[in-house]
Amino acid sequence: MRQALARKGWLIGALALALCASQAAAQSAASAGAASASNPNPANPANAVTAASWPSRAVRLVVPSAPGGGTDILGRALAQKMSENLGQQVVVENRAGAGTVIGSELVARSAPDGYSLLISPSTLAIDPALHARLAYDPLRDFSAVSLVATVPNVLVVHPSVPAASIAELLALARAKPGSLNYASAGIGTSPHLAAELFRAMAGVDLVHVPYKGTTPGVVDLLAGRVSLMFPNVLTALPHLRAGKLRALGVTGSSRSAVLPDVPAISEGDKSLSGYEASQWYGVLAPAGTAPELVLRIQREIARALQAPALRERLAAEGAQVVGSTPQEFATLLARDIAKWARLVKAAGIRAE
């Protein structure tokens, strides 16, 4: 009996000691977590190790639009090459909705650990001007990683329009105000704002006809129901080669390699000096991602973009490969947000 009681007492004591040790460990972990949260220093050793070991598992690259579009094509090409280089999968995840807002918000709210990235078109810089209640701030809620590529739009007219140059188009528009109309892929889209910037800088009266997407706008342009449009180069190229449309100028700061004989719009008239409205595509991480980790990801993007096969593929799509530094991309993003905000306000543009 005494031995049984002794054994029972020993067990109770051991359980009590184990419980105390467990509580102490939990308190220690909680204290460590609180200290980490109150002092999220991106330069601390833990983050440095994360940067050095990244990636140790699959990386999610969110495309905030449906499969098959420009962002999706570029994102998949980049993800494939990065996967080959890293030995870890970079998995493309399409999260379309509300333009590009749904997918962008998803990444903005993700952990800043390098395993959730966003590849965004330049609408990221337009959305703040159009949506007063946007759930994220492109500058505050993201860490810019790299500008991947730029793709110019191109000003095209139906062959029935009696203008073979920017100068002739402006002369026609000034002689007959309101007689020319232009199609866009919808209010606030890149083709719309490219046209509005052209209209505002040149001081001409053009009538906007918004469509629900690029394709129906191009269909009506080909039929001659609208006069002109600013689609991207990839969309316009087949129709230009077939002689169904006429190109007057590209929206980039210089000529496009796929349309070398078409001048930049800024060359067309002194009123358009400095005109530039290219679409761009860039990779961003959630705000709070350690600078060392951002640089690590940027270096891997740059390495992928150096692959000749990838560069040739993107060039065939009308894209100019960039692979910028984080600071260069952040500067561009801030500049474009201010630029489009001024235009949207001056033109009285409102989201649909």
What pLDDT was estimated at residue 18?
41
For Cα atoms 249, 233, 315, give the angle at the middle one, nearest 5 degrees. 120
What pLDDT was estimated at residue 132?
84
- Residue whose entry in the numeric block shows the structure tokens 């910028």: 324
Mean pLDDT of the chain: 86
Q: Decide which of 326 and 48 is more confident.
A: 326
Domains of the chain: 49-151+279-347 (3.40.190.150), 154-272 (3.40.190.10)
Q: Which residues pair with 321 in a beta bridge?
A: 149
If we measure between CA atoms, which residue out of 216, 213, 200, 243 comes closest to residue 343? 200
Q: Quick one: average pLDDT of 52-72?
A: 91
What pLDDT was estimated at residue 352?
66
Residue 4 has pLDDT above 80, yes or no: no
Measured CA to CA, the distance from residue 152 to residue 252 in angstroms comes to 5
User: Is the C-alpha dihedral spanning 185, 186, 191, 192 positive or negative?
Assistant: positive
CA atoms within 13 A on the CB side of 97: 8
- The set of residues, in sequence order, having a beta carbon less than 8 Å from that of 46 and lying 6+ positions away, is 36
Choice among 81-90, 140-149, 212-221 with the minimum mean pLDDT: 212-221
What pLDDT was estimated at residue 334?
98
Measured CA to CA, the distance from residue 210 to residue 70 in angstroms comes to 20
Residue 31 has pLDDT above 80, yes or no: no
- Residue whose entry in the numeric block shows the structure tokens 């759930």: 135
Query: What's the gap between Cα 87 and its chain centre?
Result: 25
DSSP-derived letter for residue 267 is G
Q: Decide which of 71 and 198 is more confident.
A: 198
Quick one: tokens of 31? 């204290």
- Residue whose entry in the numeric block shows the structure tokens 């080909």: 222
Measured CA to CA, the distance from residue 175 to residue 316 in angstroms comes to 38
User: Is the C-alpha dihedral spanning 277, 281, 287, 293 positive or negative?
Assistant: negative
Q: Yes or no: say if 281 and 58 are a contact pair by the CB < 8 Å rule.
A: no
What pLDDT was estimated at residue 339?
94
What pLDDT was estimated at residue 51?
84
Give the total residue count for the chain: 352
Q: How confident is the model at residue 96 (pLDDT cuts 50, 70, 90)?
A: confident
Measured CA to CA, the distance from residue 325 to residue 303 in angstroms comes to 12
If we measure between CA atoms, which residue out of 196, 195, 255 comes closest to residue 221? 195
Q: Quick one: average pLDDT of 316-340?
A: 94
For Cα atoms 65, 71, 76, give the angle at the middle one, nearest 5 degrees. 105
Q: Decide which of 173 and 25 is more confident.
A: 173
